[in-house]
Structure 1
Amino acid sequence: MAHLAISVPFNSSILYIIKHYRKPYVPMKPVVEGMGMDWQRQHTKLKGQFNAHIKKFTIRPSVDSQPTTFLCLALDNFSDWMQTICPNKVKSKIRDKVIQYQCECLDQLHKGWAKGESKQILASAPEERTSLQTAVNHIASKYGLPYQAIYKLIHRQLGTKHLNELTERQNAEAISHLLAKVLDDEFLGKQEALAAPVVKQFTDDELCQLCWLWKNSVRMIGHIADIAPLLRVADHRLSGAYHSMASEYPRTTNAARKILERETTHIECDQFRSDNWRVLREMRIGRPLQ
């Protein structure tokens, strides 16, 4: 089975993130070798301490290379593995590189996963998609639907973004998905619903940035509340301003949170989500500011 893979340039090396059931996994050999460490030793550690969080996936890193099987660690557990490495116990010539990986690598992987510029490894050839395109054209003609709306249904079902990402298996799954909808008459009366453009005030990326702005505001308000009493005791000239901010800012921040919760109901976020949308966990379960 082919998997979505994201290439992540880091420190003159190329790392990868493999998407498996919407969960990110990191091929570990490129990481370990990029740090200059012995792969066999880390391979043994991964299969011992992290056996419950590893999987094997086969991808073709480049067009000219042969398919390669990688031992992959869940991105959620990558930081735990990094903490098992003590820079003082590695060779001095690679110590700086190990420290750099420990400080920067995880953040770069998260950015790569959030950016999501993924490509389909071993994707289906154009001629293999002819049957799918024929099915889409037939449905569009019969029910008076725009082609884009039908392809959007396919991508929503398969978790893809573009037609050229589909593997041979996904190509067949897409046809079966459309056939089931035809047999269930789900396209009848859907012309206006599917054709009507959805007008969004913000893109999902912009909403994500606003959610992080909310989180930063909550953190800032907490610091203000901690500092305000100290300024009052010191009779500082900013004491009144900080007291007002501690009282007023929570109201607007809580109002912004309600708006963002309403506008992000279409975004799924569970305990395993590790991209930038993980901020939703805190927004959805946290208490309003007082």
Structure 2
Amino acid sequence: MTVFTASPVSINFHGASIPTFNVAGIIRVAMKPICDSIGLEWHGQRQRIKRNPVLAKGAVMITAPSKGGLQKVLTLPLTKLNGWLFGVDAARVKPEVRDKLVEYQEECFEVLSNYWQKGQAVKPRTVTPDERAGLRAAVTMLTTKRGLMHSAAYSLVHHRFNVEHIDELTAEQLPEAVEYIHRMTLEGDYLEKQHQAALQLAIHYPMDQWPAINHQLRQDWENEVPTIYPNRRWVKARHLYGESSPSPTLQMLAQLKKEGVNVECCEAEVLAMRHHIGEFESLRHNLQRMLSHSSSMPVMLTS
């Protein structure tokens, strides 16, 4: 598969940030963030793209900068996005995914296309300064009653809705943001304690979750030689990087971030480690190939 290097242009779609790229005049869309936003399992969708002759022909890997270093992302041409979207049968997905999938099928292509053709995303509509007056008033009330700085109060909104500024809030998010700040003002400490308790109960990542999401790990564990220690399994470098080996840690951090917890440095650390493991493995494979070519005997470097 062809690999390019490009910087992403992120477009807001109903609160989700979708990376897009202009590569040689062709607008491309990163597919995994769309799957994650909809709630679709990425490994299965990636395999579906590979199996479809039209989608597979248009698929290109792009190396793009991220907080954790350079990351490879699978992209499709924007013109093929609807072909992929409508290939997912809304009647066969989980009920909690269905509405979001239909939303993407109805609007996503138009929003991304409008951005690149007209310089702006027509949908979803962001709110005007006048429409944000209610939110500003709610924030002022919160700072007065709770003794917070305005910057700290606005940070609550940023973290809760995963935006960097309130002008990124969509028309759908604005009333939710106002209600959220009002609840913080009225219920304050009690609300936060309840929120944290609910958060602790909702997040569970037992060991069987890892092979459930990591196809490479699951495949190797099914065929591995057992270790000499009970209840221990082999974990190799190839299980710790790349699209075929999703990280449960990153999934947990994404869940925490969705709940309004700032996990930026933790996410950056994990992404950096996965990037460097991938770079090391690439170097190891190249070194092994060079040594094998220069020797009459096969050389195996293990990690």
* Fold agreement, TM-score > 0.5: no
* TM-score (ref. length: structure 2): 0.40
* TM-score (ref. length: structure 1): 0.41
